[in-house]
Amino acid sequence: MTNLVLFGPPGAGKGTQANVLKDKYDLVHISTGDVFRYNIKNETDLGMNAKSYMDKGQLVPDEVTINMLEAEVDKNPNAKGFIFDGFPRTEAQADALAILLEKKGTEVSAMIALEVEDRILIDRLLERGKTSGRTDDADEAIISNRIKVYYEETAILKEYYLKKNKYFGVDGVGSIEEITARISAVIDSLQQ
């Protein structure tokens, strides 16, 4: 199985690349945000549990998030692999993901991080904000803070996956096709 942790700051193009890669490699894309929204909207037990924390302004405990991800993995027993988008965010979550995948007889193949300069990210998000309707894409101060939080969170994970020889930084600037080609070169090297 090919299991990828796709990383990159807001505006790096993770969603776009995940959509291309899932089709190209026949992988299942699991976006933590989408999983949360689905479970809350459909009022599943896991969704209601998560919502109880979110309604209080608290972070959803890792255990609840992992249980949601495990349910998504279990929905796809014949998958050739997964793209995890938005998870893990901490070393504890990375350990939990490793345990989850080990139970399924597999592991994280690589963490692929899209690398883009902050100014380009800000410009991309402000542009997206004009059409997306997302208020967090319309304010440069909020965007800058989101990027800062990303670096604070992921610096730890970069080290975590570097120690396991599973971290791959990829230039996230260029056309969608150029960036896909760079990521594909990493994925293809894993499968040899």
Q: Is there a binding annotation on residue 126?
A: no
Q: Write down the domain spans for the chain.
A: 2-190
Of 6-10, 48-52, 96-100, 151-155, the least confident: 151-155
Q: Are 73 and 154 in contact (CB under 8 A)?
A: no
Q: Are 91 and 160 in contact (CB under 8 A)?
A: yes
Cα separation, 11 vs 80, whole angstroms: 27
Q: Which of 24, 75, 103, 134 is catalytic?
A: 134
pLDDT-based confidence at 58, cuts 50/70/90?
confident
Q: Is there a binding annotation on residue 96?
A: no
User: Shortest CA distance to 156 belongs to which of 167, 172, 170, 141?
Assistant: 167
Q: Is 124 a catalytic residue?
A: no
pLDDT-based confidence at 192, cuts 50/70/90?
low
Q: Is 128 a catalytic residue?
A: yes
Q: pLDDT tens digits, residue range 59-116?
A: 788 898 999 999 999 999 999 999 999 889 889 999 999 999 999 999 999 999 999 9
Give the per-residue pLDDT at 149. 83
Q: Is there a binding annotation on residue 182?
A: no
Q: Are 147 and 124 in contact (CB under 8 A)?
A: no
Q: Is 146 a catalytic residue?
A: yes
Q: Is 119 a catalytic residue?
A: no
Q: Is there a binding annotation on residue 2?
A: no
Q: What is the average per-residue pLDDT within 1-7?
A: 94
Q: How far is CA 112 from the centre of its chain?
A: 10
Q: What is the average per-residue pLDDT within 164-173?
A: 96
Statement: residue 26 has pLDDT above 80: yes
When the candidates are 3.30.1360.120, 1.10.10.10, 3.40.190.10, 3.40.50.300, the CATH number that belongs to 2-190 is: 3.40.50.300
Higher per-residue confidence, 134 vs 65: 65
pTM, entire model: 0.86
Most confident of 117-121, 155-159, 177-181: 177-181
Q: Which residues lie below 8 Å from residue 144, measured CB to CB, with a gap of 6+?
A: 118, 122
Q: What is the DSSP string of 52-91?
A: HHHTTTPPPPHHHHHHHHHHHHHT-TT-SEEEEES---SH
Q: Is there a binding annotation on residue 174?
A: yes
Cα separation, 115 vs 83, whole angstroms: 18
Give the per-residue pLDDT at 154. 77
Q: pLDDT tens digits, residue range 105-133?
A: 999 999 999 999 999 999 998 988 888 87
